[in-house]
Chains A and B, each alone.
Chain A
Amino acid sequence: MKNERLNQRMIKTGFLQWAWLFAVCFLLLNSGCVKVEYSKIDDPAYLRVFNNLNYIQTLGSKDNKVPFFCMLINPVLDANGIPTSAEIVGDFLDQRDAYAPPYPSHIGTSTSVNNPEYPGKENVLVGPILNGFDLSSWAQVPSGKMRIMFAYRPKNTVPFFQLENQLKKDILIDTVLNLTSKEVYTLHVLQKDFVTKRTGLLLRQEIFQKLPLSDSLTYVNFYNMSAKGYWEADKSLKAQDYLMASFQGGMKDEMNVFLSLYEDQSILSARAATIPGFKGKYIANVKLNTAISDVNPYVSFPVWASNTGNGITTNMWQRFDFFVPGMDVSNNPFYEASTDNGGNWVSVNCLQNGKVKMTSNDNAAILPNLLVNIHSGVNNPKTFATVNTIEVVNGRVYLTTIQRKYAPPIY
């Protein structure tokens, strides 16, 4: 008994000491507090910006102006017309990446300030989850009329407003946009004419968040936002980028798109087994358009088309062949690895992370798989249906993937 009481007292003093320790910690922590002012935008619209003007560094193009921009929304100009500040600044806006992922993963995986899209790496307020779609790649901007400017800037790491004044004068685009509250927009900086080098903007009001889309179908739509006259132009005027394979020379103004679904993305061959019913299936027609901002219709294919899929994950991948009307996979006159087809046939393989090389003879550019395979819940990986946009701009092809909010992984 005596021992027990002693024991209890000892435990009590132990608690007392703990209490002291907590009190000290509490004091220390409390004295370090600051008041945080959260920024807030009333009636926001959601905006994502891509710079489709591209460049490569070669001997022949070294004297060309590099399309590397600072985007300024509602800029304040001084007496000489030089921007001194802006409501929203998207600095270091570089040419867009081939893949625009559903989440702004650039933030975690990059050490460069160069931003492949806006908001991208910018630390700004982003969109909410609308109809299940996570809009964290869209920035909140004030709705209504706003002035938007794209200013050329040197390719370095000095923030725009710290540059010398003479470097802040070169404005590519200065225009006014009208955005509606709570709507989702993508804005493209484009070259509209390859001969005159005229550039401009294309503001597209997206509708995917308003559509009744199934989560067992993958949706994709296509745009050809090439400059007028690109595919007709002489080869020597086009940037040579062997990774773009058949897309290098551009494609004709009207093309039909054919879909092939392949069973297994670990087999890097376009001759590998396709899923029955999905070999060179016509899905869409795409016309050159840099003027009208309509959303092209979404077409879909089932996520579980393959018998090897188990309802949790599937290994299938996609290939899109773009043929000039009248031509299709069955009467294709070109050799399978032919990349210089006069714009009559271009193709793109969508598999793995888009950073692989096919082992078979092939003329396709390579982009990531439209289906997102990722650790979610207890399943690693789990396959998710997505909503995609494939955009062809001059000699390049881009994929934007939008994904629904999904359950976090359980380890």
Chain B
Amino acid sequence: MKKLNNVKDSKPVLHIGKMLFALAMALQLLFITGCKHDDLSVALPNENIRPAADFVKNNYEMRLFYAALKKTGYTEQLNGAGPFTVFAPTDEAFNRLGIYSTADFDKMNVDSLKKIIGYHILPRKLMVNDMPSNGVDIRYATLSGSELYLSRAAFNPSGGEVNELYIDGVEVIRKDVVVANGVLHLIDNVMKPNFNKTVQQWLAEHADYSVFVKGLKKFNLWDQLATGETFTIFAPNNQALENVGITEASLNTLETGKYIGDRLFGAYILYGRHFFISDSQVFSLINSNGVYNYFLKKDSYYMNFGGGKLYPEFKLGYSLTLRSGNTVSDVILNSVTSNLTAKNDNLCSNGIVHHLISGLVRPEQAIKK
């Protein structure tokens, strides 16, 4: 019995040895054959994808943008080698600026139009995933040479994913449209870069802010706007100032010595900050706080600034609330919600100008005591 058992026991050893040997041989065979890739075939890239300019041409949502590209001679370049990133404003975006037909471009200076259109194109391929998550004011060089500001709200650190993208304060409404020589993003407004223009020059050039400009000059707030400091200006137009009882005629009779200029006109200037309206929306998404509160310069009055997507259109707007101080018991002087998205975010060399639909301070609220 013992012997028999021994014989039985030895069989597995034999089996294992044989099997291992066979396995080792098979493994070596695999190694050798594994190196041959003669008939490996790679899928051919789809050749039917259009280059950027052709894509824009064939898309009826971007007819005006195509007209602008054609007028400024960018079509050929955009059909070339690339890579490009095109931030294409929709026709609706152009409409908001008063451009309704291709003929409207003929009234414009071609060189300035070319600079602005070139500002919408990056000489690189920039997909959403290439942009830093929760990056604010990331700058990218454009074809015009100067840089645009990109902010991407990707997630809230306390939980939750969001996915909003803004360039120069303009919302990107469709992202990552791949074209043959790059990528295209659809934007909701035309960007408004002013390149080397200061906020002062910008205001001086726009006649509908003439009363505001006159007020700034009268209270010695004007000259600072040409300096290298940074400003965010909430500019009320003439109609807006009339709402609070300030007109060109009334300004002529106003005695400067009686009024606090830093409140009456300084209330519209935010010093040392560079805010797009979208920044407020971005920060409310990424750290749940999109509000910025500050004391007016040389004054005890306190301002709350906050922006976001306003009901019912869910387009970007902002509100300003002026209080007599920063405690709960301080009275609210005025609160204005400004929702003309297309007129905001005028990027100048030393700051940003936003349009304000109503004035904040009546002259009698700024009398010196």
Contacts and interface: CB of A to CB of B under 8 A. Distances in A.
Interface of A: 3-4, 6-7, 10-11, 13-14, 17-18, 20-21, 24, 56-60, 62-63, 155-156, 236
Interface in B274-288: 274-275, 279-280, 283, 286-287
B13 interface: yes
Contacts of B24: 20-21, 24
B28 A14 contact: no
Contacts of B295: 236
Interface of B: 3, 6-7, 9-10, 13-14, 16-18, 20-21, 24, 28, 132, 134, 136-137, 230, 272-275, 279-280, 283, 286-287, 289-295
A156 B132 contact: yes
A155 B133 CA distance: 11
A7 B6 contact: yes
Nearest to B137: A62
A7 B7 contact: yes
Contact of B6 (A4, A14, A62): A4
6 contacts: A6-B7, A14-B14, A21-B20, A21-B24, A60-B273, A63-B272
Contact of B279 (A6, A20, A59): A59
A58 B10 contact: no
Contacts of B28: 24
A59 B291 contact: yes
A202 B229 CA distance: 33
A62 B17 contact: no
A299 B132 CA distance: 45
A57 B14 contact: no
Given A10-B13, A18-B20, A156-B132, A59 B7 contact: no
A59 B17 contact: no
Given A21-B24, A57-B286, A62 B136 contact: yes
A194 B17 CA distance: 77
A57 B282 CA distance: 11
A18 B10 CA distance: 16
A58 B3 contact: no
Given A3-B6, A4-B3, A63-B137, 7 more contacts: A6-B10, A7-B10, A58-B283, A59-B275, A59-B283, A60-B273, A236-B293
Contacts of B132: 155-156
Given A59-B289, A59-B291, A3 B137 contact: no
A13 B13 CA distance: 10
Nearest to A13: B17
B21 A20 contact: yes
B13 A11 contact: yes
Contacts of B293: 236
List of 9 A-B pairs having minimum Cβ-Cβ separation, nearest first = A14-B17, A7-B10, A59-B283, A17-B21, A17-B17, A59-B292, A10-B14, A3-B7, A21-B24
Contacts of A21: 20-21, 24
Secondary structure of the A contact surface, majority rule = helix
A132 B10 CA distance: 55
Contacts of B273: 60, 63
Contacts of A59: 275, 279-280, 283, 289-292
Contacts of B286: 57
Contacts of A236: 293-295
A57 B287 contact: yes
A14 B289 contact: no
Contacts of B9: 7
Contacts of B287: 56-58
A4 B283 CA distance: 84
A3 B16 contact: no
A6 to B, nearest CB: 8
B352 to A, nearest CB: 11
A106 to B, nearest CB: 18
Contact of A3 (B3, B13, B272): B3
A57 B291 CA distance: 13
A349 to B, nearest CB: 21
A56 B157 CA distance: 12
Nearest to A2: B3
A57 B134 contact: yes
Contacts of B272: 63
A14 B3 contact: no
Contacts of A62: 136-137, 274, 279, 283
A14 B292 contact: no
B328 to A, nearest CB: 15
A21 B28 CA distance: 11
Contacts of A24: 24, 28
Contacts of B20: 17-18, 21
A267 to B, nearest CB: 26
Contact of A58 (B14, B16, B289, B294): B289
Nearest to A62: B136
A11 to B, nearest CB: 6
Nearest to A240: B289
Nearest to B292: A59
A262 B287 CA distance: 34
Contacts of B10: 6-7, 10-11
A217 B294 CA distance: 50
A138 B337 CA distance: 55
Contacts of A58: 283, 287, 289
B19 to A, nearest CB: 10
A59 B284 CA distance: 9
